[in-house]
Structure 1
Amino acid sequence: MTPLPPGIDTVAALLFDTARKLPDNDLFAVPRWLAETWRLPRAAISYRAVAETVAALAARYRAAGYGPGHRVALLLENRPDHFFHFLALNAAGAGMVPLNPDYGADEMRYALEHSESALVVALAERAAQVAPVAAALGVPLAPGADAALPPPRRAAPGGPAGLAAEAALLYTSGTTGRPKGCMLSNEYFLGWGEWYAAQQAPLQLRWGRERLLQPLPTFHTNATGNSFMGMLISGGAQIILDRFHPRSWWQDAVDTGATCFHYLGVMPAMLLNLPPSPLDRAHAVRFGMGGGVHASHHAAFERRFGLVLTNGWAMTETGGSATLVDWEEPRRIGLHCMGRANRPGPPMEARVVDDAGGDVPAGTPGNFLVRAKGPNPKRRFFSGYLKDEAATAAAWKGGWLNTGDIVRQDADGYFYFMDRKKAIVRRSGENIACAEVEQVVAEHPAVGEVSVLAVRDEIREEEVMAVIVPRPGRAPDAALANAIFEHCRARFAYYKAPGYIAFLSEMPTTATQKIRKADLGDLAENPARHPNCFDLRALKQQTKPRPNA
């Protein structure tokens, strides 16, 4: 792959450059059934057509009075219209604020007010959802992707141009408190493209030939940053889905000619749960890239579907500047390996440190710190948290981005994800990584999904709770709870085994298919009130090893 063309300093400029080189290539594609649902005139949209649409829409934005320093909120779901408006705003020098369509009124109000959005553009069928909030805040509303653009209430305040200009404000999906608004520049987005263009086999992008199946939401950086910029810089196509559909996944991959896909969370597990089908190997997919594949599913997924499933690590804040992927052979399959800092792409540095900031020995879990290598450690990272200088400074304490993740590094420099720093159960002075317990619980054949969290304990400070969705046909009863406990007890130290096991019919998840642990808070606070929660603390104490006489 060639690097970023010289002179390109905005996302829109890259679009127009690629459109000149590959005008007839598809930039967007949609499965036919979804194109019909959305009443799109065609299921594939060429670079030429996108460039023409974006140029015309950018002219409309400018004519309406939008320009540098303005932010426009987009409630356009996972549709081509989202990208049309993103690119048009970028061409006009303005930035976008993509809104989560699952937002309630309070969340919508916060995003519009905090971002100081000058306009909301919503799908016609979503306009009623945001209209009362927009009206209360005095924010103009365009009720449709093609609707007339009302003028802003204030003139464009101005701001940096080119690489430094803000292209988007993305809100991180925090589990507590208000989300933080990550300010993302043109340099950040172009950095995503350059990172992807630098990848080597099996992730190497072929000029004008890739078609990336993307089920993740456009209000997160994976879809709008990583995958979209990768396709834009390589002349590839982004295949847009409204969401993840496991039952039609492989049919959609075949019908749209997908050559790769991105994943998160429980998607691999859900695809493995499908009955065997000729479609399992009928596709042309070479690789899937993402993170969060369960250790016990990784090899099985590759064997069944005949592709490389890479595991990696990134944050909204890092962009491509500190993204890691375990791509080198032999890959460390099933070990939650993130790759190493000496990888293709922009040079980066990484450290694993203790709470005092000192480097820890190889093999020892610690706090994961990253930065760009060179004179500017923040190059191509996020520009900061909007209106929160304290949080920005805390994130960059000591000149390194503090990721909040716990990892370990082996003697060869490979990093392995352990847990989020806060995803720790502190029981009787022992720190227990939730991810470690989840991995063992998930290996029990009756477990479909699992999330481990801390429960307050009067004696031991905290106790381990495993919240489980059983596989179909398995009764959520005491016998199963005991069997899972014994499975865990046989695998690791007694204190790591769940003191509580609770069964649910389904797990609450975010739009990116990550388990929403915050929604399990009431269960953790009041386990006795849940009809399918079993208290195993007495059994756990019985299995505690006794000291030698």
Structure 2
Amino acid sequence: MLIPEESATIGQVLAEAARRWGNRPLLAVPANPARSYAPQGLEWSYAEVARRVSQLSAVYAEAGYGVGHRVGLLLENQPEHFIHKLAMNALGVCCVPLNPDHRPMEMAYVIGHARLDLIISLDALLPLVQQSLAHTPHRTAVLSVQAAEDRLPPPPTPREEREVRASDIASVLYTSGTTGRPKGCLLSHRYELATGQWYASTGGLVNFREGQERIYNPLPVFHVNALVFSFFCAVLTGNCQIQTDRFQPTRWFEEVHSSRATVVHYLGVVVPMLLNQPAHRLERDHQVRFAIGAGVDPQRHAEFEARFGYPLVEIWGMTEMVRAIFDSQTPRQVGTRAFGRTRHGLEVRVVDDADQDVADQTPGEMLLRYSADTPRKDCFSGYLDDEAATEHAWRGGWFHTGDVVSRDPDGLLHFLERRKNIIRRSGENIAAAEVEAVLQAHPAVAQAAVLGVHDEVREEEVLACVVLKSGQQAHPSINDPLVQNLLTYCREALAYYKVPGWLWFTEEIPTTGTQKVQKHQLFPAGTDPRETPGMLDLRPLKKRKAMHSA
């Protein structure tokens, strides 16, 4: 493995990787005849990537770009995204990936907040950029990716005439969030290289062989998982990243097989979608050694591994923190929400609302740091133009993740829920994820989202939003057989107070580009979800006596 010096920059590391592994593949795209680009697929070696990066860096440099500039990329998952990012980083330019799923007002906020000097876009997305610019006073040049290969408009301000440093910001990634405006996470060259090194050195089941791994990542490159986490792991180990355009359950088996993937990345939503696919001739004809992801339904974890023949290694991670936590050591805790133990380079506390440590196996917020002397070592550099939010997150010398976990006496950590998704009902804390997992295991349910709604007596009540599988139908009545079946199913799996008091059938649950559920978009702002047409009030059936046997 190539172990970068702490002073190394991305440009320096790419040059060294190309020198070591010139003819080995670095970036691949699986074939897809229906795709508008590279329908036959492509594969670029380390030498080819370095050549393309060098050529494009010269175009940026000639136009006057360098340290101090920020350029937005609206290139979806196309391989040119990596080439532009690497070319910019070699000069000290900061890359700001733009989310193609954003609506104009959302993108306008990012463009203005990041104060972009230039936007490089796919032709098909240029109208979205122009609509977005109409909603912000910030003016920036816009260029198609094809035109950008030859010549760029000059930046509005001169570059800083100095060498690129490891502490310079390589990327600004905007958190998706569930409430409020997204924050811009500042990721330095050192952060991105340290992320790849941390992943590559995990150990246990997550064992990267130099020059032998092919990492299939279907996640968006405008987020940290594909753009930084897996890509720089590949760069530092002489391996290849296989970047498909997006996750498609109907193409997963074919692409994993044909790309010769040895590692695959997933999100929790991927697991039930693949399990719901009919038997496929290639579903066990693969070279996958392990999968990396988060959020697998505990009730379907073992089922997935048995059917497809490789382990799902659950992890915890977030954009702000370079160090993910992996459940990669055997024996693993399949069928639970365990995500591993800490290792050297990461300290963890589990605390209550007053930041006081809680006892083992007690829910609390997870706090992280590198060490007492250097708590922020290699972590994100802060939130763009929001020092107050940065310091609040780091209060007391620990980063506050906002995630509620519990820790076993042997140090094994279990994910419970995002703190804001804990439902407080009659003094009981209910993890929405636990109720969602039960509902999603029901044979008629395709997807479920659970949240708390106001209750005049009990503070909050459990509301379940359910998408039914194709062919399933329910009428908005508590006497409907499917409604009764769902209620009975929950009663049998959950304590009475966790059973939904409200039930609403919907055709779609909104998600982000990384398939994170956007619960705040389920109901219009300022409205009471309980008054939504079709909402079923199950509270009369939710009584302790009726649930006593549960």
CA contact (8 A) 1:481 1:534 kept: no
Using the TM superposition, name which of 404-413 and 473-482 deviates more: 473-482
Matched, 1:142 2:140: no
Using the TM superposition, name which of 146-155 and 350-359 deviates more: 146-155
The Cα shift of 1:425 comes to 1.4
- For 2:249, the aligned partner's letter is P
Distance in 1, matches of 2:524 and 2:121, equals 34
> Which position in structure 2 is the counterpart of 1:130?
129
> Which position in structure 2 is the counterpart of 1:339?
340
> Which position in structure 2 is the counterpart of 1:316?
319
Secondary structure of the corresponding residue to residue 225 of structure 1 = helix
CA contact (8 A) 1:168 1:183 kept: yes
Distance in 1, matches of 2:338 and 2:75, equals 35
Distance in 2, matches of 1:384 and 1:456, equals 35
CA contact (8 A) 2:32 2:39 kept: no
> Which position in structure 1 is the counterpart of 2:79?
80
Within the candidate set 470, 473, 476, 2:471 is matched to: 473
Q: Deviations over 1:339-383 (max 9, x none)?
A: 0113xxx61100101111111111100011011135211011100
Task: Map 1:66-465 onto structure 2 (within 5 A).
Answer: 66-134=65-133, 137-147=138-148, 148-157=151-160, 161-320=164-323, 323-342=324-343, 347-373=345-371, 375-465=373-463
The Cα shift of 1:134 comes to 4.2
Q: Give the direction of change, closer, same or farther, for the CA distance of 1:496–1:13 in structure 2 (3 Å limit).
A: same
TM (norm. structure 1) is 0.94
- For 1:331, the aligned partner's letter is R
Secondary structure of the corresponding residue to residue 280 of structure 1 = coil
Distance in 1, matches of 2:168 and 2:162, equals 7
Distance in 2, matches of 1:154 and 1:133, equals 22
Distance in 1, matches of 2:108 and 2:300, equals 40
CA contact (8 A) 1:81 1:145 kept: no
Secondary structure of the corresponding residue to residue 417 of structure 1 = strand
Q: Give the direction of change, closer, same or farther, for the CA distance of 1:446–1:12 in structure 2 (3 Å limit).
A: same
| Residue ranges of structure 2 left out of the alignment (5+ in a row) | none
Matched, 1:500 2:502: yes
- For 2:130, the aligned partner's letter is A
The Cα shift of 1:238 comes to 1.0
> Which position in structure 1 is the counterpart of 2:50?
51
Distance in 2, matches of 1:293 and 1:42, equals 30
Distance in 2, matches of 1:46 and 1:35, equals 25
Distance in 1, matches of 2:501 and 2:254, equals 43
Secondary structure of the corresponding residue to residue 184 of structure 1 = strand
Q: Give the direction of change, closer, same or farther, for the CA distance of 1:280–1:544 in structure 2 (3 Å limit).
A: same
The Cα shift of 1:447 comes to 2.2
Distance in 2, matches of 1:6 and 1:442, equals 46
Distance in 1, matches of 2:279 and 2:312, equals 18
Secondary structure of the corresponding residue to residue 221 of structure 2 = coil
CA contact (8 A) 2:340 2:412 kept: yes
CA contact (8 A) 2:4 2:193 kept: no
CA contact (8 A) 2:422 2:431 kept: yes
- For 1:96, the aligned partner's letter is C
Alignment length (residue pairs): 539
Q: Give the direction of change, closer, same or farther, for the CA distance of 1:39–1:473 in structure 2 (3 Å limit).
A: closer
CA contact (8 A) 1:188 1:381 kept: yes
- For 2:322, the aligned partner's letter is G
The Cα shift of 1:3 comes to 4.8
Distance in 2, matches of 1:515 and 1:36, equals 26
TM (norm. structure 2) is 0.94
- For 1:33, the aligned partner's letter is N
Using the TM superposition, name which of 483-492 and 379-388 deviates more: 483-492
Secondary structure of the corresponding residue to residue 407 of structure 1 = strand
Q: Give the direction of change, closer, same or farther, for the CA distance of 1:409–1:42 in structure 2 (3 Å limit).
A: closer
Q: Deviations over 1:196-247 (max 9, x none)?
A: 2212232111111111111111111001111111111111111111110101
Q: Deviations over 1:15-45 (max 9, x none)?
A: 2111111111111111122696214796111
CA contact (8 A) 2:18 2:46 kept: yes
Secondary structure of the corresponding residue to residue 318 of structure 2 = coil
CA contact (8 A) 1:352 1:409 kept: yes
Distance in 1, matches of 2:505 and 2:289, equals 37
Q: Deviations over 1:28-63 (max 9, x none)?
A: 111122696214796111111110010111111111
The Cα shift of 1:422 comes to 0.5
Distance in 1, matches of 2:292 and 2:140, equals 38
- For 1:443, the aligned partner's letter is A
The Cα shift of 1:445 comes to 2.7
Q: Deviations over 1:38-96 (max 9, x none)?
A: 14796111111110010111111111011101111111110111000100000011110
Q: Give the direction of change, closer, same or farther, for the CA distance of 1:274–1:454 in structure 2 (3 Å limit).
A: same
Distance in 2, matches of 1:470 and 1:333, equals 27
| Residue ranges of structure 1 left out of the alignment (5+ in a row) | none
CA contact (8 A) 2:7 2:190 kept: no
CA contact (8 A) 2:31 2:39 kept: no
- For 2:466, the aligned partner's letter is I
Distance in 2, matches of 1:232 and 1:128, equals 34
Using the TM superposition, name which of 42-51 and 163-172 deviates more: 42-51
Distance in 2, matches of 1:401 and 1:20, equals 38
Distance in 1, matches of 2:391 and 2:444, equals 45
CA contact (8 A) 1:494 1:543 kept: no
The Cα shift of 1:146 comes to 4.2
Distance in 2, matches of 1:334 and 1:384, equals 36
Q: How large is the RMSD of aligned CA atoms in angstroms?
A: 2.0
Using the TM superposition, name which of 458-467 and 237-246 deviates more: 458-467
Q: Give the direction of change, closer, same or farther, for the CA distance of 1:363–1:34 in structure 2 (3 Å limit).
A: farther
Task: Map 1:518-529 onto structure 2 (within 5 A).
Answer: 518-522=520-524, 525-529=528-532
Distance in 2, matches of 1:455 and 1:529, equals 12
CA contact (8 A) 1:69 1:158 kept: no
Secondary structure of the corresponding residue to residue 67 of structure 1 = coil
Q: Give the direction of change, closer, same or farther, for the CA distance of 1:160–1:364 in structure 2 (3 Å limit).
A: farther
Using the TM superposition, name which of 24-33 and 76-85 deviates more: 24-33
Distance in 1, matches of 2:64 and 2:371, equals 40
Q: Deviations over 1:92-127 (max 9, x none)?
A: 111100000111221121111111111111112222
Distance in 1, matches of 2:165 and 2:34, equals 34
- For 2:504, the aligned partner's letter is A
> Which position in structure 2 is the counterpart of 1:484?
486
> Which position in structure 2 is the counterpart of 1:539?
541
- For 1:185, the aligned partner's letter is S
CA contact (8 A) 2:63 2:153 kept: yes
Distance in 2, matches of 1:311 and 1:442, equals 19
CA contact (8 A) 1:196 1:205 kept: no
